[in-house]
Amino acid sequence: MSRARKVLIFGGIALATFGMLYGLYYALFVEHQTLDQMGGSLATAFVNAAERKVPESRAALDTYAATKYDYVRQVDVHSHWIGLAMLMIVLGVAFDRGAFGETVKLCIALALTAGSVVFPLGVILQTVSHGSIVASALAIVGSALVIIALAATAFGFARQST
Amino acid sequence: MATEAISSPISAAFPAMSAQRLLVFGGVALIAAGMIFGDLFAVFILHQNGGKTGEALLAATKAVATQNPAEVKEVFSRIGGLLEDRGTKVDTHVHLTDAGYLALLLALVQPYVALSAMRKKSLAKLFLLGGVLLPIGIFLIHYVGLAYSPFSVIGWASILADSAGALLIVVLAVEAWGVGKCFRGERLAVENDFQQDRSWESRALLSGGTVLVLLGFLYGAWYAGKNLYEQEAREKNILAFTLDAAVKTPELSGQFVNAYGMLAAEKAVQIAAHSHIIEFGLLAILLSFVQRYVFLSDVWKRRWVVLLLVGSLILPVFVWLELKLGLVAGGIADVGGLMVVIALIGMLVGTLRYSGSVDALGGMHS
């Protein structure tokens, strides 16, 4: 088995396991509480408005927006880590069909692995500090690595011999 | 449909009721079940649920206008139920199909799992058990609620889903350990290495699938850059305007509730287009590996491949167009989904025929 395939298959299984562990931890300890807070703060905003407590209503709406900002990214991280891991394993199995030399294959495999780890990591770091430039930069660099690696792989598969 | 003879070297692989065969059949069946569930959900539940949520939000703004906090709380309890109903069904669809993808993936890596055939078979059965119980648990969350639960926020259905998820994690960890052993030099596998197939069908699915995934990622990057933050800000603004209108100009509340509903629909179709095109791409790549086990004539194999790829493009494109073209686009998207399901079932039938032929050949030789 080539080094590129090893990187993709073993890296993919490790990333899928990590993504599922994160999902289990999230479902057990975070999700229900987050959903409660999200629904509760929106309801509170409406209740306060009904009681004509405008500043409190706005504050509850801010809490709702901030909680939803985190929730969307937390769920996205879980699905993207596992999705990218699955893609790595699948491409790993077929990788030697691509019309590239070993060095190029290894570079593509490393780029896809790095992007698959870094892109969701950047997304989850956005919840630590909302609007963080470093976190957004990580997410952008990670997704760019994935897209470039995928484009190269598609090109390699399209050129594959029969 | 004409069929071709199976050569004995091929029949030596894919042994009867092996882990690989269990995972291929189970994986394709889980994906087909997940897609049928998704189609039923889209046709019979999604829009109706959205309509009820909009009506409830309008009722909440009316309660704000009439300064009735108790009514607001009651309406939000109803909205919570509606959102849970929708959310758990979306999650059922996603987890059912994803468990199928993972099962197919595990089938692919079986040659690199250095464990005994018996242990691999047990792992495959446990994985399929977890893959079935996880979506069932998620589906039941809305209906079981917290009845008889010893916990304050987690019900028995959640416990079932989480336990099934833990089972999947354990199986994956053991499979990863087996792959690690293979990398260290141990190899006990008797299964086929799927990558040898270079037929037209296999190459079309592999290249087409990779292109679909790439398109999905490009669209996702565009969505994250252009729409994600703008939609988050717009949602907060619309809700603030809705509350202001409920207090000062109640007659305008309906407009803002409509705007909120349109925003929710906009987000839903854009995210669904992104996730579906990637999932179908992944499915096409996975199916490229099992084409040699689809025991049908070349013509029929190609028909299923073309149907699957065309359906895989139609569904996300027309889901995305749903806001511009309305229900017509939704109907076309559903037809796209149906095309994928039919192609999937066609390939599953071909694989079952292959297995039957292999088993019959094995019986004749023994």
Conformation bin of residue A27: beta by default, left when phi > 0, alpha when psi is -120 to 50: alpha
Judge whether A91 lies within some domain: yes
What is the per-residue pLDDT for B6? 43
Q: Which of B169, B206, B278 sits opposite A21 (nearest CB)?
A: B169
User: Does ipTM surpass 0.90 in this model?
Assistant: no
A50: closest CA of chain B, how far (Å): 4
What is the per-residue pLDDT for B301? 94
Interface contact flag, B194 A93, Cβ < 8 Å? yes
Interface contact flag, A150 B162, Cβ < 8 Å? no
Q: What's the structural domain count of chain A?
A: 1
- In the structure, what pLDDT confidence band is assigned to residue B187 with cuts at 50, 70 and 90? low
What pLDDT, in 10s, does the model give residues B129-149?
999 999 999 999 999 988 888
What is the per-residue pLDDT for B195? 57
Judge whether A63 lies within some domain: yes
Q: Which residue has the tokens 């199928």?
A: B100
Q: Which residue has the tokens 């179908």?
A: B280
The rounded distance, in Å, linking the Cα atoms of A56 and A83 is 40
What is the per-residue pLDDT for B13? 56
For B82, nearest residue in chain A (alpha carbons): A39
What pLDDT, in 10s, does the model give residues B31-48?
999 989 988 888 888 888
A59: closest CA of chain B, how far (Å): 11
Task: Quickly list H helices, chain B.
Answer: 8-12, 19-41, 47-65, 69-109, 117-144, 156-183, 200-223, 229-248, 253-289, 298-320, 322-325, 327-365
What is the per-residue pLDDT for B10? 46
CATH class for the domain made up of B13-196: mainly alpha
Domain boundaries, chain B: 13-196, 198-366
What is the per-residue pLDDT for A95? 86
| A86 touching B (Cβ < 8 Å) | yes
Neighbours of B87 (CB within 10 A): 15
pLDDT at B4 over 60: no
| A68 touching B (Cβ < 8 Å) | yes
Domain span holding position A125 = 3-155
Interface contact flag, A93 B207, Cβ < 8 Å? no
For B267, nearest residue in chain A (alpha carbons): A72
Chain B contact set for A3 (CB, 8 A): none
Judge whether A52 lies within some domain: yes
The rounded distance, in Å, linking the Cα atoms of B282 and B276 is 10
pLDDT at A90 over 60: yes
What pLDDT, in 10s, does the model give residues B58-67?
999 999 999 9
Interface contact flag, B109 A9, Cβ < 8 Å? yes
Nearest CA-CA partner of A64 in B76, B65, B220, B155: B76
The rounded distance, in Å, linking the Cα atoms of A154 and B122 is 35
A4: closest CA of chain B, how far (Å): 13
The rounded distance, in Å, linking the Cα atoms of A111 and B10 is 35
Chain A contact set for B213 (CB, 8 A): 87, 150
The rounded distance, in Å, linking the Cα atoms of B141 and A141 is 38
Structure tokens at B44: 């019979």
pLDDT above 90 covers a percentage of chain A that reads: 61
**C-alpha neighbours within 13 Å on the C-beta side of residue B286:** 31
Q: Is A21 helix (H, G, I), strand (E, B) or coil?
A: helix
A60: closest CA of chain B, how far (Å): 11
Structure tokens at B360: 């019959």
The rounded distance, in Å, linking the Cα atoms of B57 and A115 is 40
A24: closest CA of chain B, how far (Å): 7
What is the per-residue pLDDT for B14? 61
For A94, nearest residue in chain B (alpha carbons): B195
Neighbours of B364 (CB within 10 A): 7
Judge whether A17 lies within some domain: yes
The rounded distance, in Å, linking the Cα atoms of B243 and B333 is 36
Contact A94, A8 (CB under 8 A): no
Judge whether A33 lies within some domain: yes
Interface contact flag, A64 B239, Cβ < 8 Å? yes
Interface contact flag, B108 A93, Cβ < 8 Å? yes
Q: Which of B69, B175, B195 sits opposite A13 (nearest CB)?
A: B175
Q: Which residue has the tokens 């770091």?
A: A125
| A133 touching B (Cβ < 8 Å) | no
pLDDT at B114 over 80: yes
